[in-house]
Amino acid sequence: MLVYLGKILSKMKKISISILFITVLSLFSAVKAADKIIYKIDIKKEIGSTTWLYTQKGFDEAKTKNADIVLIHMNTYGGEVLYADSIRTKILNAEIPVYVFIDNNAASAGALISIACDKIFMRPGASFGAATVVNQTGEQMPDKYQSYMRATMRATAEAHGRDTIIQGNDTIYKWKRNPLIAEAMVDERTVVPNLIDSGKTLTFTTLEAQQYGYCDGVAANVDELITKNLGIESYELITFNPTVLDNIKGFLMSSVLQGILIMLIIGGIYFELQTPGIGFPLAVAVLAALLYFAPLYIEGLAANWEILMFVIGLILLAVEIFVIPGFGIAGISGIVLVIAGLTLSLLENVNFDFEPVETGGVGKALLTVTAGISFGFALVLYLSAKIGTKGLLKNIALNTNLEKEAGYMAVPMENKALVGKQGKARTDLRPSGKVTIEGVVYDAVSESGFISKDTAVEVLRYEMGQLYVSVLTQNS
């Protein structure tokens, strides 16, 4: 019995050693399988606020995952230069290598991002270049915009440095990526000997890019790029997957939409001040303000004090309009605080420390806000002229003629006899209020601006059932 038990224990010991060996081997294989961590970010749509949000979150996640390489999988025809420049800066300042795989197209803003990457890989038949700055209709922008883009493309190519080549007694410095070639992708007047003549904007095919140092390898897909071009046999590929909330935030943070929201805020407040009570214009202004600040607050751009600054600015403007006569310190302070609150909310500043803000960020934010406010006022003036005439605004104002034959009663004219009589302001007139004439209280409107309570007044005219008064002068 004891012999039999000993045999069983011996077998169990052998099984335990085998299990331990298999476990260690599995752990070793798992470590080997994750030999390199590659984090992939897709840019396969128009470059704008959404792709910029993807890039920021992707780089942060790649850092937390201890990724060895960030790979941008690109297929885009371009987009907004401002966001492309932000992505470019993020890539150039990255702590880990950033490679790009051009899977068909990297045009315009996509070319700028590609040149910023440490290595460029392309699919057979792909192309990139044509980085001329154009507007929404595809028309070429004035030369000052092209000049900035030329310099940005050159600087991006120069950022990769030069190789030092010693030939005998001569030392030759050769750019890893020729800045003149990058400039030729923007300006049709740039000539690159043996490559492109004046009058043509440069766009590379895969083979041309490889020949002139703008492509470090050709691959049919991501796996081939990693295994054959980079020589990494075992790797873990992690892909950034944006959430629905990411897409909503990216859409709401678009500079175009932000400008529209500012227009709605300004227009809603203006029309609310022109109408009695609280109604639809104020609801539009409040909703626009929420859509403007909410994504910025969630992303940590808009701080509590910046939103509070905007609210205080609105309160000061309301006080200036409804309480204080004329336009002075309160009104000017309100305008300054509103603009400052809207602008600072777009910046990645910490209180008044602007060091984290990217170059040109302040100008971009200020341009967005001022453009939105300017277009907002223009829209207000346009809509004010259209109210009650035609289109969607036809029914906002009353245009019906109230004819006596249709049963409408005329305005009583007994008060017309009050014209020329004198009285006293019973309340402040800003410009409407109440006056007392011969012991009777009447509604009245001031024609001489703000009139304080108990000021002597004179009735100037009576129209449409309304008394119009002014301050009584000494000569009256």
Rg (alpha carbons) of the chain, rounded to whole number: 35
d(CA 100, CA 115) in angstroms, rounded, equals 9
DSSP for 441-464? Answer: EEEEEESSS-B-TT-EEEEEEEET
CA dihedral 281, 282, 287, 293 (to 10 degrees): 120
How far is C-alpha 211 from the chain's CA centre?
38
Q: What is the pLDDT of residue 387?
A: 58
Residue type, 339: I
Q: What is the pLDDT of residue 7?
A: 53
DSSP for 192-207? Answer: BTTTB-TT---EEEHH
Count of CB atoms situated within 10 Å of the CB of 215: 22
Q: What is the pLDDT of residue 6?
A: 53
Bridge partners, 192 (sequence order): 196
- The whole-model pTM stands at 0.65
Alpha helices in 275-397 (DSSP H): 280-298, 304-322, 329-344, 361-386
Residue type, 58: G
Instruction: Look at phi and psi of residue 456 and say left if phi exceeds 0, alpha if psi is from -120 to 50, else beta.
Output: beta
Is-cis flag, bond preceding 193, omega within 30? no
Count of CB atoms situated within 10 Å of the CB of 406: 8
Read off the tokens for 213: 């140092």
Q: What is the pLDDT of residue 66?
A: 93
- Residue ranges, the chain, pLDDT below 50: 1-5, 9, 24, 27-33
Beta strands in 193-259 (DSSP E): 203-205, 217-218, 235-239
- To which residue do tokens 């749509």 refer? 45
d(CA 218, CA 216) in angstroms, rounded, equals 7
- To which residue do tokens 């294989």 refer? 29
451, burial (CB in 10 Å: exposed 0-12, middle 13-18, buried 19+): buried
| 310: CB partners within 8 A, 6+ apart | 289, 293, 337, 338, 341, 342, 345
Residue type, 148: Y
d(CA 338, CA 353) in angstroms, rounded, equals 20
Read off the tokens for 223: 């796996």
Helix H or strand E encompassing 114: helix 109-116
